[in-house]
Amino acid sequence: MKRFALLFALFLLASLVVYAAGPKTYQVTGPVLAINGDVITVQKGTEKWEIALDKSTKATGDLKVGAKVTIEYRMTATTVTVKPGAPKTVASAAVPSKN
């Protein structure tokens, strides 16, 4: 019984660490159509995906037009504009301010 409780506690702790790790990551896979400065364009089905690259982006292999790539990315808000007269929200949904 102690072993079960210990395993459960470790599982719970690991779950919390994964949950607190940050925003969800997504993937897009397809051929590279263009690389222009800090933007890479990838074909996914009939859609063209433009994804920004920055200093922290890691690439392995020979990244060039025509190469098949898998890109992992996160959606991050750059701005949030609250409109006047917006309905009040629950306090737990509030976004912390940057100080």
Q: Where are the domains of the chain?
A: 23-78
pLDDT at residue number 4? 55
How many CA atoms lie within 13 Å of 53's alpha carbon, on the beta-carbon side?
Answer: 14
pLDDT at residue number 22? 78
pLDDT at residue number 85? 85
The pTM of the full predicted model, rounded to 2 decimals, is 0.60
Residue 79, both tokens: 């701005």
Closest CA to 67 of 29, 25, 27: 29
Q: What is the DSSP string of 47-92?
A: EEEEEE--TT----S---TT-EEEEEEE---S---PPTTPPP--GG
Per-residue pLDDT of the chain (99 residues; tens, 9 = 90+): 676 555 556 666 665 555 566 789 999 999 999 999 999 999 999 999 999 999 999 999 999 999 999 999 999 898 999 999 866 766 655 566 665
41 C-beta neighbours (distance < 10 Å), count: 16
pLDDT at residue number 64? 95
Give dist(CA 17, CA 14) in Å, integer: 5
Q: Can you name the CATH fold of 23-78? A: OB fold (Dihydrolipoamide Acetyltransferase, E2P) (2.40.50)
